[in-house]
């Protein structure tokens, strides 16, 4: 089964970069007609446009830091990861970072910083960020760690380097677990897949801090669980409109308004859908549908791309799409190396 798993690893990271690069076109757009999405996608087949024409953003830049750190340290090392985030931001600050997180990244660059989790805790009046920046870069945790416990633990800590609000880091854990399950082939049984994620989030949202944050932000008591139950409801419907997805799940920059949405995009596109080209495979449908939502399209497509890529594997991704996006070869290389690490018996705790 080794080649299948390797293909899933490559699909996850390449799918994530693709979503970021291809989704960048519509980031922040309010109304994205499906026609425009399909036009944007068919333009990727134009060979005269040149390789790597679509640039990646902070989503991929930080995902690469996570993967590089896990590979170099062969474990989770918060200081190393924090240093890589800071260095990457310093080298390429133009990649479209969230407006709050740049303060954290600047502080993380200081060699005198004692506690690397402290700058994140100072964000937004001391509550920390609930943005989706922790979730958008969470996929490599699912590739580096075999056990569900490790995926949970380290994706949470990795997110806390910039996102200390429980809604921020719990979104990252949810995304990492979705990739983890998808790598195991769990999307073959969609209902079991969503039920498993709901029970995982029930456990996490019972936590005192999560309860406190939900209350402080005027949310329901189990915010992620509520959204995932809505995902399940929408899954069971024959047809779902874009407007419905946006109003029920959201398409925003908050992790709560984007991680469950990305998961829904993947589940919804497991089957052919009206309005999407018949020749599209599942991964292409997932990216197309994510873009049509508008809002935080690069990040929703990036997260959905990672989950879908882990399910369908690298061969499901059109060559022309891969060629159009910056950083695909590097992501593919990271996936190969994470696969080798995953297969090392010494790495099992
Ligand atoms: O979460 P973050 O890294 O941003 C990621 C997003 C992705 O869409 C990327 O593609 C990129 O475009 O940015 O960055 P943060 O600055 O931590 O959070 C993003 C935004 O969420 C902030 O700039 C705020 O507008 C908002 N936000 C909050 N607003 C009020 N109170 C996050 N947390 C809070 C909060 O506690
Ligand atoms: Mg971005
Ligand atoms: Mg974004």
ipTM above 0.90, yes or no: yes
Phi, psi angle pair for 251, to nearest 5°: -145, 30
- Return the H-helix or E-strand segment holding 120: helix 118-121
Q: Which two tokens stand for residue 285?
A: 């449908």
Percent of the chain with pLDDT over 90: 94
pLDDT tens, residue by residue, 153-200: 999 999 999 999 999 999 999 999 999 999 999 999 999 999 999 999
- Calpha distance 204→65 (Å, rounded): 26
CA of 269 to the centre of ligand 3 (A): 21
> Helices 282-292 & 34-42, crossing angle to 10 degrees?
130
Eight-class DSSP state of 54 = B
Eight-class DSSP state of 318 = -
- In this predicted structure, the answer to whether residue 145 has a pLDDT above a threshold of 70 is yes
- Calpha distance 10→18 (Å, rounded): 12
57 Cβ inside 6 Å of ligand 1: yes
Banded pLDDT at 137 (limits 50, 70, 90): very high
Banded pLDDT at 3 (limits 50, 70, 90): confident
In sequence order, what are the residues at sequence separation of 6 or more whose Cβ sits closer than 8 angstroms to the Cβ of residue 220?
A: 214, 226
Give me the mean pLDDT over the 36-46 stretch. Answer: 96
**Residues at Cβ < 5 Å from ligand 2 ion:** 57-59, 96, 298
99 Cβ inside 6 Å of ligand 1: yes
Does residue 187 sit in helix, strand or coil?
helix
CA of 302 to the centre of ligand 3 (A): 9
In sequence order, what are the residues at sequence separation of 6 or more whose Cβ sits closer than 8 angstroms to the Cβ of residue 7?
A: 313, 314, 315
Q: Which two tokens stand for residue 96?
A: 């479209």
Q: Give the number of the ligand closest to the Cα of residue 161.
A: 1
pLDDT tens, residue by residue, 99-135: 999 999 999 999 999 999 999 999 999 999 999 999 9
- Residue ranges of domains in the chain, CATH in brackets: 2-347 (1.10.4080.10)
CA of 104 to the centre of ligand 1 (A): 12
Cβ atoms within 10 Å, residue 3? 8
pTM over 0.95: yes
Q: Which two tokens stand for residue 70?
A: 């896990």
Per DSSP, the residues of 288-305 read HHHHHT-SSHHHHHHHHH
Cβ atoms within 10 Å, residue 192? 12
User: Which residue from 60, 98, 251 has its CB within 8 A of the most atoms of ligand 1, so it is best to mutate?
Assistant: 98
In sequence order, what are the residues at sequence separation of 6 or more whose Cβ sits closer than 8 angstroms to the Cβ of residue 196?
A: 181, 186
Contact 289, 269 (CB under 8 A): yes
Cβ atoms within 10 Å, residue 314? 20
């Amino acid at each position: 089964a080794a080649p299948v798993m390797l293909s899933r690893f490559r699909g996850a990271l390449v799918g994530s970069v693709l979503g970021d690069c291809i989704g960048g076109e519509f980031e922040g757009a309010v109304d994205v007609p499906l026609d425009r999405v399909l036009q944007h996608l068919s333009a990727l087949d134009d060979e005269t446009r040149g390789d790597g024409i679509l640039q990646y953003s902070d989503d991929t830049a930080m995902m690469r830091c996570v993967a590089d750190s896990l590979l170099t340290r062969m474990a989770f090392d918060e200081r190393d990861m924090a240093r890589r985030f800071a260095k990457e931001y310093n080298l390429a600050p133009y990649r479209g970072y969230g407006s709050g997180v740049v303060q954290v990244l600047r502080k993380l660059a200081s060699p005198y910083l004692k506690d690397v989790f402290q700058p994140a805790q100072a964000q937004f009046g001391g509550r920390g960020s609930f943005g989706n920046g922790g979730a958008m870069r969470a996929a490599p945790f699912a590739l580096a760690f075999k056990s569900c416990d490790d995926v949970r633990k380290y994706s949470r800590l990795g997110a806390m380097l910039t996102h200390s609000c429980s809604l921020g880091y719990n979104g990252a854990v949810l995304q990492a677990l979705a990739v983890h399950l998808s790598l195991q082939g769990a999307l073959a049984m969609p209902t079991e897949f969503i039920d498993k994620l709901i029970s995982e989030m029930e456990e996490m949202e019972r936590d005192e801090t999560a309860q406190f944050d939900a209350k402080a932000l005027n949310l329901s008591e189990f915010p992620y669980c509520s959204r995932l139950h809505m995902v399940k409801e929408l899954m069971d419907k024959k047809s779902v409109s874009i407007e419905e997805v946006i109003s029920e799940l959201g398409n925003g920059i908050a992790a709560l308004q984007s991680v469950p949405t990305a998961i829904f995009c993947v589940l919804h596109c497991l089957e052919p859908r009206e309005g999407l080209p018949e020749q599209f495979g599942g991964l292409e449908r997932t990216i197309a549908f994510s873009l049509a939502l508008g809002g935080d399209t690069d990040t929703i497509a990036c997260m959905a791309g990672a989950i879908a890529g882990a399910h369908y594997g690298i061969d499901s991704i059109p060559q022309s799409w891969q060629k159009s996006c910056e950083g695909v070869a590097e992501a593919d290389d990271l996936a190969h190396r994470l696969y080798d690490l995953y297969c090392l018996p010494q790495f099992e705790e």
